[in-house]
Amino acid sequence: MQYETIRLGVRDGVAVLTLNRPDLMNALNTQMRAEILHAMGDVQDRARVLVMTGEGRAFCSGQDLGDRANLASMNMERVLRDEYEPMLRAIFDSAIPTIAAVNGPAAGAGANLALAADVVIAAESAVFLQAFTRIGLIPDAGGTYWLPRQVGAARAMGAALFAEPVPARQAADWGMIWEAVPDADFPAHWAERAAHLANGPTAAYRNVKRAIRGSFDHTLDEQLTFEAKLQGEVGRTRDFQEGVLAFLEKRAATFQGR
């Protein structure tokens, strides 16, 4: 597929998906959502980690509100169900780890696009903004799901009601994101993080995601059973055998992702 609103490259097991509408702060439109969805399927067998980032000064400003012709007649429920939901599920359910490398402002649906990733690394100059009530809407694109789980109900409610920007450092302190990094170090840092995951035990990473996410729906007994089942799966992988052997031989493990 020829992409027009994003760029996609794969090298050394790392797929980098760059939102590429910099003149509009990488605002999401129908085409971009479709291209992100396609790209997520494209990289699953080609890469061992995926990084999403933005071109230019922003990560993503959210829904393209400048497209007034389409916005006036937009069936918002349909757009969310038919366009946003498949894209977000593809990111959330990805078999490989996902990193949102938030290089600048992430607002509205753009903020929640970032929060759909497994790990969010932000430049210190970035901000996260649940901008929806500024135009008479509620948080969408998964915002009412991600935020309470990551920062608690009180902070999620305040962020949604007041629609005030949360600086990256504060977002890290809240637990909304994994880390905030000085701008000068940001590109090299997220590349290093991505390389670490690309060289790691992919099957174990996949089951880490399943175990942690499943814990929200399980009792302790159910989670212990689920945890044991998943551990049994990864305990039969070549990566586990290699990890133990490398430990005993006092060398770095060479994982094959299975």
The sheet carrying 49-54 orders its strands as: 6-11, 14-19, 49-54, 98-102, 119-123, 179-181
DSSP string, the chain: ---SSEEEEEETTEEEEEE--GGGTT-B-HHHHHHHHHHHHHHTTT-SEEEEEESTT-SB--B-TT-HHHHHT--HHHHIIIIIHHHHHHHHT-SS-EEEEE-S-EETHHHHHHHTSSEEEEETT-EEE--GGGGT----TTHHHHHHHHH-HHHHHHHHHH---EEHHHHHHHTSSSEEE-GGGHHHHHHHHHHHHHTS-HHHHHHHHHHHHHGGG--HHHHHHHHHHHHHHHTTSHHHHHHHHHHHTTS-------
Q: Which among 141, 253, 248, 136 is positioned nearest to 204, based on CA atoms? A: 253
Domains annotated for the chain, with CATH where assigned, are: 6-198 (3.90.226.10), 202-248 (1.10.12)
pLDDT at position 68 over 60 = no
Residues 167, 202: contact at Cβ < 8 Å?
no
Q: Which among 81, 1, 77, 82 is positioned nearest to 40, based on CA atoms? A: 1
Distance CA(14)–CA(189), nearest Å, equals 14
According to DSSP, the residues that pair with 208 across neighbouring strands are: none
pLDDT for 242 = 87
pLDDT at position 70 over 80 = no
Distance CA(50)–CA(190), nearest Å, equals 11
Q: Which among 14, 10, 37 is positioned nearest to 190, based on CA atoms? A: 14
pLDDT for 81 = 92
| Amino acid letter, residue 139 | P
**224's tokens:** 């212990």
pLDDT for 256 = 84
| Amino acid letter, residue 235 | G
Cα angle value 252/256/258 (rounded, 5°)? 125
pLDDT for 74 = 67
Express each pLDDT in 2-44 by its tens digit: 899 999 999 999 999 999 999 999 999 999 999 999 999 999 9
Mean pLDDT of the chain, nearest integer: 93
Express each pLDDT in 152-196 by its tens digit: 999 999 999 999 999 999 999 999 999 999 999 999 999 999 999
